[in-house]
Amino acid sequence: MNKIIWGKLYDTEKADLLISAWNWLSWSDFRYFSEDLYITKKWNFFIHWEGGPLTKYVVESWSRRNWSEDIFVLDKKDVLNWLEENSKYISKSELKEILPLIKNKIEIEEA
C-alpha cells in the first residue's frame, strides 16, 4: 500500500518493516487488527494498519461496517509511545531486538 501524506510518498513496498503488532486472531475474524511499523530510507516512521469491522479501524458506509486499512505517519518521538502501547501484541524477543535499533535511529536523527 502507498499513500501521499504532506507531500511525501509512504510505500510499504519500498520502506523497511521494523516490527508488527497484531492481536493474534485470524484474518477472517471481524476483531482482527494489525499495525506494522515501517521506516523509510530518510528515517521517517509510519504505520500501516488494517482491521476488521469490530475494531477501532471500522469504516461505516451505507449502514455497513467494513474492513479497512490505511497509513499514518509517526513523529519520531511517538515511535516509542507506539511500542509501549502495543507491547502486549509484540513478543519480548522482538522488542529486545528492535528497541536498540529504533532508539539509535531516533538519537542519530536528533543529534
Could you read off the pLDDT of 53-78 as tens digits, one per residue? 778 777 766 666 677 888 999 987 78
Average confidence (pLDDT) over 2-9: 91
By CB atoms closer than 10 A (0-12, 13-18, 19+), residue 22 is middle
The pLDDT, as a whole number, for residue 106 is 74
Residue boundaries of the structural domains of the chain: 2-110
Joined together, the cell numbers standing for residue 10 give: 509512504
Average pLDDT of every residue of the chain: 84
The pLDDT, as a whole number, for residue 103 is 78
**pTM of model > 0.75:** yes
Cα dihedral 45/50/53/54 (nearest 10): -60
